[in-house]
Amino acid sequence: MKRRALLALPLLLVGALNGVRADEANMAGTWELKIVSPQGTRTPLMTLTQDGSVLKGNYRGLRGDAPIAGSIHGTAFELSVKIEGQGGSLVIQYKGTVSGNALAGRVMMGQLGEADFSGMRVK
């Protein structure tokens, strides 16, 4: 039992130094997303920081840059971004799971509907 605890200690320390709890997946970094919807394929970028279960960062899509925020619990995450356009504002919500350098889930785009998305960490 003591040996297992000693082996886990370095993992806990690395997570603590990165602001990530050991039970939360690490989503810090830059992600390239792929959204396939009836409106076409989109490839926005998001750059995230993580403090425990809190996610914050920048979202860059066709309509420019906007702040993005959300949370992660284990490997499940939720993110929300409000983008402005000529037709008004649109709140986009991502719900999915992360596994290492890959993520996937569903994106809800208000009146534009829903679609599947996937993504890869590029930095």
pLDDT in tens, 5-57: 444 444 444 444 444 455 789 999 999 999 998 888 999 999 999 999 999 99
pTM of the entire predicted model = 0.78
Q: How many domains, the chain? A: 1
Spatial distance between the Cα atoms of 59 and 83, rounded to a whole number of angstroms: 9
Spatial distance between the Cα atoms of 49 and 115, rounded to a whole number of angstroms: 25
Quickly state the pLDDT bin for 122 (edges 50, 70, 90): very high
Spatial distance between the Cα atoms of 120 and 6, rounded to a whole number of angstroms: 32
Q: Which domain CATH number covers 106?
A: 2.40.128.120
Q: How far is CA 41 from each of CA 5, 36, 107, 117, rounded to the nearest angstrom?
A: 46, 4, 13, 10
* Domain that includes residue 57, residue range: 2-121
Residue 2 is predicted with a pLDDT of 52
